[in-house]
């Protein structure tokens, strides 16, 4: 996706984009963090979202901000097709008077986060359309944050438009394969809480799940929190301290400096500092942050139908070698054991020992996660009766030869874990 940036009055940028029938995405960067994104097709506004919410009202923020940096991004053909189908959002630019500009400057100074400030989230009912909407928002908006699925409290993390890992709850918790969380999202009886944050805040919260563990679950009454914080400052620590008790608190550090302190529950808010009451019965964890690049590399993009089709076509070459090794009848029986399972019966079929999607018109991400899951189960089964290192060598060869499509999909780490490479 091509991108450039300009610095100018935000309303003037939007007005020019409308008048010049611009197609693309304008991302207005707030002076104290946060963004407002406007998507236009032929100069018509089709979608508006921000760090805080969705809809036309979010444009009020660019009026308050006045001017600053705006990222100008192109859209993929798929994005253009998606947004073209959306209704137009009417917007009338108003002239900004000098007096209003002066007020704006004062307002910006007063907008620094207060200890009572709540972090934004939205609540959505589950369903297949909800999955489509969420995945579109995450990928197109390059969003960072997490989803919490009620009533199970399962969590799915995402970073800069890429899907990361799933978990049973906040730490300490078990990792859950994304396929099962996707199934929870499309369950209309469930409710999805979507937390979309600035990247810095999301990076800190995701460190709860993906990290290097330094201290793990020590009782607060046997360890001095102030000494841990002082040590973090002296050693220029970048990471988080997690207090898990009656109240959950995250203290975020960057190079030894406390950047933010969050109280985490259904509602996430900034606080000044943990109290003795917060520490009562709490377990203390200390997690170092992984490099952002490494975190991003772990993520999976939302694949297109064409990318899924290409990947499965590559898999079928390996599949054919397996069938030739064990015979069509054995392969058919082995694969059918999983395809007949209700979890996969609506997604895949087996013909002469070859695993295929029933239709590529299914939600691409659901189909993709399902394929990774069923292939992992099949490979585990095959290991029990294919002797020697034959299968392992074939899987490693596949991984090396198909590196290009694997990297495009961003599934290097997933395949290493699920296929035991």
Helices of type H across 119-211: 128-140, 178-185, 199-206
* H helix or E strand, kind and range, residue 163: strand 162-167
Band the pLDDT of 279: cuts 50, 70, 90.
Answer: confident
Confidence band for 14, pLDDT divided at 50, 70 and 90 = very high
pLDDT band with cut points at 50, 70 and 90 for residue 108: very low
User: Tokens standing for 26?
Assistant: 């304008």
Cα 325 from chain centroid (whole Å): 39
Instruction: State how far the Cα of 212 lies from the Cα of 199, in Å rounded to an integer.
Output: 19
Q: Are strands 191-197 and 212-219 parallel, antiparallel or unpaired?
A: unpaired
> For position 122, what pLDDT does the model report?
83
Q: In this predicted structure, what is the pLDDT of residue 124?
A: 87
Structure tokens at 147: 């989803």
Residue 95 has pLDDT above 70, yes or no: no
Query: Residue 213: what pLDDT?
Result: 94
Which segment of 29-43, 216-230, 340-354, 364-378 scores lowest on mean pLDDT?
340-354
Residue 33, pLDDT > 80, answer no
Quickly state the pLDDT bin for 116 (edges 50, 70, 90).
very low
What Cα–Cα distance (Å) separates residue 374 from each residue in 34, 224, 226, 264, 338? 39, 47, 48, 35, 7
Confidence category of residue 411, pLDDT binned at 50, 70, 90 = confident
Element holding 145 (H helix, E strand): strand 144-150
355: left (phi over 0), alpha (psi -120 to 50) or beta: beta
For the chain, the first-to-last Cα distance in angstroms comes to: 32
pLDDT tens digits along 316-335 = 888 899 889 988 888 888 88
β-bridge pairing 67-73 and 3-9: antiparallel
| Helix/strand/coil for 341 | coil
**pLDDT confidence of residue 117:** 55
Peptide bond into 383 cis (omega under 30): no
Cα separation, 364 vs 366, whole angstroms: 6
pLDDT band at 101 (very low <50, low <70, confident <90, very high): very low
Tokens of 300: 């999976």
DSSP one-letter string for 177-198: -HHHHHHHHT-TTSEEEEEEE-
User: What does the pLDDT read at residue 93?
Assistant: 61
What local confidence, expressed as pLDDT, does residue 105 receive? 26
Choice between 87 and 148, residue whose per-residue pLDDT is larger: 148
The token pair at 109 is 């100074």
DSSP string, 37-66: EEEEETTEEEEEEESS-BSGGGGHHHHHH-
Tell me, rounded to whole angstroms, the distance of Cα 13 from its chain centroid.
29
Q: Of 72 and 94, which is predicted with more confidence? A: 72
> Which one is predicted more confidently, 328 or 107?
328
**Least trusted range by pLDDT, from 166-170, 182-186, 271-275:** 271-275
What does the pLDDT read at residue 51? 80
Provide the b/e sequence for 311-321 (b: ≥16 CB within 10 Å).
Answer: bbebbeebbee
Check whether 96 has a pLDDT greater than 50. no
Rg (Cα) of the chain, in Å, rounded? 24
Rounded Cα gap, residues 144 and 299, in angstroms:
11
- Nearest-angstrom CA–CA distance, 64 and 59: 9
Percentage of residues of the chain with pLDDT beyond 90: 31
| Model confidence, pTM | 0.66
- As a whole number, mean pLDDT of residues 235-248 equals 92
Confidence of residue 44 (pLDDT cuts 50, 70, 90): very high
């Amino acid at each position: 996706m091509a991108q450039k940036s300009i610095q100018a009055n935000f309303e003037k940028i939007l007005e020019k984009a409308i008048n010049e029938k611009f197609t693309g995405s304008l991302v207005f960067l707030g002076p104290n963090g946060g963004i407002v994104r406007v998507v236009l097709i032929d100069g018509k506004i089709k979608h508006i979202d921000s760090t805080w919410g969705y809809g036309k009202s979010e444009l009020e923020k660019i009026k308050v901000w006045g001017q600053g940096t705006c990222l100008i991004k192109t859209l993929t053909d798929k994005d253009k097709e998606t947004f073209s189908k959306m209704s137009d959002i009417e917007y009338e630019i108003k002239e900004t008077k000098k007096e209003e500009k002066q007020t704006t400057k004062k307002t910006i100074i007063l907008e620094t986060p207060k200890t009572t400030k709540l972090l934004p989230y939205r609540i959505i009912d589950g369903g297949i359309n909800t999955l489509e909407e969420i995945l579109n928002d995450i990928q197109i908006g390059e969003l960072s944050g997490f989803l919490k699925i009620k009533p199970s409290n399962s969590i799915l993390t995402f970073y800069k438009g890429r899907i990361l890992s799933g978990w049973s709850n906040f730490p300490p918790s078990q990792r859950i394969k994304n396929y099962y969380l996707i199934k929870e999202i499309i369950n209309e009886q469930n409710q999805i809480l979507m937390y979309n944050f600035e990247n810095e805040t999301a990076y800190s919260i995701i460190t709860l799940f993906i990290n290097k563990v330094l201290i793990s679950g020590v009782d607060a009454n046997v360890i001095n929190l102030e000494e841990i914080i002082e040590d973090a400052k002296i050693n220029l620590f970048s990471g988080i301290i997690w207090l898990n008790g009656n109240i959950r608190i995250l203290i975020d550090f960057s190079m030894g400096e406390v950047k933010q302190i969050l109280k985490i529950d259904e509602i996430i808010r900034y606080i000044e500092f943990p109290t003795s009451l917060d520490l009562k019965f709490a377990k203390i964890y200390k997690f170092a942050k992984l490099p952002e690049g490494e975190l991003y590399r772990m993520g999976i993009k939302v694949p297109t139908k064409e990318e899924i089709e290409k990947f499965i076509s590559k898999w079928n070459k390996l599949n054919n070698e397996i069938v030739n090794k064990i015979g069509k009848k054995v392969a058919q029986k082995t694969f059918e054991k999983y395809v007949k399972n209700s979890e996969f019966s609506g997604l895949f079929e087996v013909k002469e020992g070859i695993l295929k999607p029933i239709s590529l018109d299914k939600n691409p991400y659901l189909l993709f996660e399902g394929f990774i899951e069923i292939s992992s189960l099949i490979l585990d089964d095959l290991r029990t009766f294919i002797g020697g290192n034959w299968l392992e060598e074939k899987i490693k060869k596949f991984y090396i030869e198909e590196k290009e499509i694997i990297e495009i999909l961003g599934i290097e780490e997933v395949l290493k874990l699920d296929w035991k490479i």
